[in-house]
Amino acid sequence: MTKICSRSRATEIILPCDMLAAMLQYVRCSDNNHNIRERTAYMERKQIDFVTHPQETHMVGDGFRVHNFIPQMPGMSRYDMDPFLLLDYNAAMPVAPGVPRGVGAHPHRGFSTVTFAYRGSVEHRDSRGNHGIISEGDVQWMTAAKGVLHEELYEREFAARGGCFQIVQLWVNLPANHKMDEPSYQSIRREDMGRVELPSGGGVVEVVSGRYKGVSGPARSHVDVTMLNLRMNKGGKAEFSFNEKHTTFLIVLSGAVEVNCVGVPQDNVLKFKRKGESFDIVAIADNTVVLLVSGAPLHEPIVGIGPFVMNSHEELVQAFEDFSDGKFGYM
């Protein structure tokens, strides 16, 4: 029998203890003017798993100095983060004038690589004849599928003049029935992304994939994923709601935010639990930029070595054989 904690005599509304506790739980946190605000914490509020800072960097090729979050960080294995296989973050760094550097021709099979350029620019070429320049604010979505070779280097003009460089690369797994599709390439310009203005001049949300507030992004994907760039002014606020079964996380590229009143500084990642749906993000610094990502887990076996991610050992062996036989093409 449910224990009754409160009864309203006027309306005879009966509230069970657990519901009353949830409704009356207050979260107190400072706003940007150092005033105190109180917000009711509802049962459906999305729960935060942890906030983590970047670990030591390592070089990818001779041009990218990255912090790896997925799959190396505790709590961020490929199964924890399904459908996301890798999150590499090249934090803002100076690049001296010189020749193009980066990663020469290398293979992929079984997933998509999604590259976000925040500072500087990257030039892409692949064995399918695709060529593109990812300029500041742009995104490249390459679906390797059955196999492709590609190279990623500093764009020539950027390399020659030098400057600040900052990128994020995500690997998104493909469902088993799409791993052997033909490869594809999408060059997504910032001006082609969906755009949602935040209230009171708080900034803008750029929709790369999925939907936000009824606005869709241009990216095509075999996986249900939402990727949003938040460009926020100090005090700007954005509200979100994602399926609680989805894997959801964010990385702060510049500035700082509070997420459900939990602070997240620059270069840190916040991961949510798969519990609850709604949350808000408040910028607590000017020129705040956040990448927010959410995706439906595939719940399929993950068998991968290096640039190949399949569903079985046999498929992985076949990937190496096909690469050796030149079936990924040539550059």
Q: Which has the minimum average pLDDT: 37-46, 169-178, 184-193? A: 37-46
In the chain, where does the domain assigned CATH 2.60.120.10 lie? 48-295
In degrees and rounded to multiples of 5, residue 176 shows phi and psi of -55, -35
In this prediction, what percent of the chain has a pLDDT beyond 90?
87
Give the distance from CA 23 to its chain's centroid.
32
Q: Give the mean model confidence (pLDDT) for residues 240-269.
A: 97
Structure tokens at 240: 């979100």
Q: Are 187 and 132 in contact (CB under 8 A)?
A: yes
CATH fold for domain 48-295: Jelly Rolls (2.60.120)
The encoded tokens of residue 137 equal: 């604010």
Q: Coil, strand or helix: which one is 328? A: coil
CA distance 122 to 288: 23
- pLDDT higher than threshold 60 for residue 18: no
Question: Would you state the pLDDT for residue 35?
Answer: 42
- Residue 1's pLDDT band, with cuts at 50, 70 and 90, is very low
Sign of the CA dihedral with 171 first, then 154, 230, and 66 last: positive
Task: Count Cβ atoms within 10 A of the Cβ of residue 145 and give its class: 0-12 exposed, 13-18 middle, 19 or more buried.
Answer: buried
Asked if residue 225 lies in contact with residue 83, where contact means CB atoms within 8 angstroms, the answer is yes
Beta bridge partners, 225, equal: 295
